[in-house]
Amino acid sequence: MDSRTVGNNGRMSADSAHRPHDQMTIEEYVAAMPQGMGALNDRMGIQLHEVSAERVVGTMPVEGNTQPFGLLHGGASVVLAETLGSVGSYAHAAPDKVAVGVDINATHHRAATSGTVTGVATAIHLGRTSACYEVVITDERGKRVCTSRITCALIPAERVG
């Protein structure tokens, strides 16, 4: 699969043929969101590489996202996890609903001090009113840096401004 295409085989999800997002590139998908990836994600350098309701892959540089001791800030890992889970939830719910995070937790396993971390969000539950993902963040050596779980409420799109 082209890593710049949304979803499996170029689709957001197996049942998304009726959605306008169908067969969009990741850039087109992001551009279709009201504020793109959002200012925080842009500032943190988060990039998407694969998007489907079932799985989302993204990266983030360690540099610029560290705490005072030069280690990847735990909050930065949580931002990456929430971004990936929210994008997957939106891929599942769009166009009628949007995803809003309602619960997130994270366990930090080891420090990352340089390079890029990769997050892989895997769907645990894809429902009518909520979606839940496990997000595993690894360093460039493939070592697990953080494990997170995010739950998003899926609310009618007309409820958000």
* Dist. CA 66–CA 87, nearest whole Å: 24
- 82 counts as catalytic: yes
Q: Please check whether residue 3 lies inside any domain of the structure.
A: no
Residues 23-64: pLDDT tens digits? 678 887 788 777 888 899 999 999 999 999 999 999 999 999
pTM reported for the whole predicted model: 0.86
Residue 21 pLDDT grade (very low, low, confident, very high; cuts 50, 70, 90): low
* Number of domains composing the chain: 1
Find the catalytic residue in 63, 82, 134, 140: 82
Q: Please check whether residue 2 lies inside any domain of the structure.
A: no
CATH of the domain at 12: 3.10.129.10
DSSP 32-92: HSTTTT-HHHHHHT-EEEEE-SSEEEEEEESTTSB-TTSSBPHHHHHHHHHHHHHHHHHHH
Range of the domain at 109: 8-159
Q: Please check whether residue 74 lies inside any domain of the structure.
A: yes
